[in-house]
């Protein structure tokens, strides 16, 4: 099962777990069962490391108003990773439902203070942000970088193509099947560590002058976002001071 809501789904998941062997996949509620998950904190960290490498020093996060576990994890990871870089960016969080929060968020950012990068909790929101920014005459990535999460089919067809985080769906499914078979056969089996995501770099976050090729790149590694920022150039440090002043 992949519970939709961390609160409202709990009763249904708990009832099912009492009747049959159950594995929660990625999304989860507070129920005693096996869980197969992705390290979403690492995914957000990869996004911020990439954006810092592109020279971005101020950020905003656009997410859903829903209560899924992954939405909460991605938001918490953004705040934790971005605070050492730019404290003001840790408070620049916009929330809503479906694609509309992306479009509304883009209008709010354009009317207030548009950061150098907008990090979105999923690809659908990111598409809304791109459309909203375009409607305000703001270009991505020339004026502001935009990233998504999930590497859905939207990421490769929207213009500009979307930088996003890819989840290891195959390994997740294999691990879930392994756990549920072990439970059916009453064999002990330990849940593994959260699966590692990958950063897929496309056009929406890469400044044209810095783009090395026209294809997508995938990153799985990197240090803590604060450490990456500490190694930035003096010019980026000046940008950081300006962003904080704003």
CATH of the domain at 118: 3.40.50.2300
Tell me the angle at which helices 69-82 and 40-53 cross, rounded to the nearest 10 degrees.
Answer: 40
Higher pLDDT, 192 or 135: 135
pLDDT greater than 90 at residue 28? no
Domain contains 122: yes
Determine, yes or no, domain membership for 13.
no
pLDDT at residue 109, as a whole number: 79
What is the C-alpha to C-alpha distance for residues 81 and 49, in angstroms, rounded to an integer? 10
Compute the mean pLDDT over every residue in the chain, rounded to the nearest whole number: 82
In a domain, 145, yes or no: yes
Residue 54 in domain: yes
- What digits encode the pLDDT tens for the residues 45-97? 999 999 999 999 999 999 987 788 888 999 999 999 999 999 999 999 988 66
Instruction: Provide the pLDDT for residue 170.
Output: 92
Non-local CB neighbours of 203 within 8 Å, separated by 6+ positions: 141, 160, 161, 162, 163, 211
When pLDDT is cut at 50, 70 and 90, the band that residue 235 belongs to is very low
Where in the sequence is the domain holding 239, given as residue range(s)?
40-166+199-245
Instruction: Please indicate, yes or no, if residue 119 is contained in any of the structural domains.
Output: yes
Instruction: Say whether 122 sits in a helix, a strand or coil.
Output: coil
Counting residues of the chain whose pLDDT is more than 70, the rounded percentage is 82
Q: What are phi and psi of 199, to 5 degrees?
A: -90, 125
| Number of structural domains in the chain | 1
pLDDT at 128 over 70: yes
Q: Is residue 145 within 8 Å of 205, Cβ to Cβ? A: yes
More confident residue, 239 or 19: 19
Q: Does some domain include residue 147?
A: yes
**Does the residue 240 lie in any domain?**
yes
CA distances to 33, 35, 66, 147, 202 from 1, rounded to whole Å, are: 11, 10, 18, 28, 31
Q: Is the pLDDT of residue 1 over 50?
A: yes
Confidence band of 224 (pLDDT split at 50, 70, 90): very low
Residue 118 within a domain: yes
161 pLDDT higher than 70: yes
């Amino acid at each position: 099962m992949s519970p939709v809501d961390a609160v409202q789904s709990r009763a249904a998941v708990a009832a099912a777990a009492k009747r049959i062997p159950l594995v929660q996949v990625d999304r989860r509620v507070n129920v005693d069962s096996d869980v197969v998950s992705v390290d979403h904190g690492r995914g957000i960290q990869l996004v911020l490391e990439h954006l810092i490498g592109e020279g971005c020093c101020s950020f905003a996060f656009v997410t859903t108003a829903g209560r899924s576990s992954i939405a909460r994890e991605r938001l918490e990871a953004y705040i934790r990773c971005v605070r050492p870089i730019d404290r003001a960016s840790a408070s620049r969080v916009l929330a809503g439902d479906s694609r509309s929060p992306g479009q509304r968020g883009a209008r709010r950012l354009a009317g207030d203070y548009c950061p150098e990068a907008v990090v979105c909790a999923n690809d659908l929101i990111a598409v809304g942000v791109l459309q909203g920014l375009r409607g305000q005459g703001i270009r991505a990535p020339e004026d502001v970088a935009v990233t998504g999460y999930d590497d859905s089919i939207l990421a490769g067809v929207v213009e500009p193509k979307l930088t996003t985080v890819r989840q290891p769906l195959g390994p997740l499914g294999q691990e879930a099947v392994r756990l549920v078979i072990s439970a059916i056969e009453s064999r002990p089996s330990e849940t593994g560590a959260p699966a590692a995501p990958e950063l897929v770099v496309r056009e929406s976050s890469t400044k044209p002058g810095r783009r090395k090729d026209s294809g997508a790149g995938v990153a799985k590694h990197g240090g803590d976002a604060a450490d990456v920022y500490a190694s930035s150039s003096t010019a980026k440090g000046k940008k950081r001071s300006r962003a904080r002043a704003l």
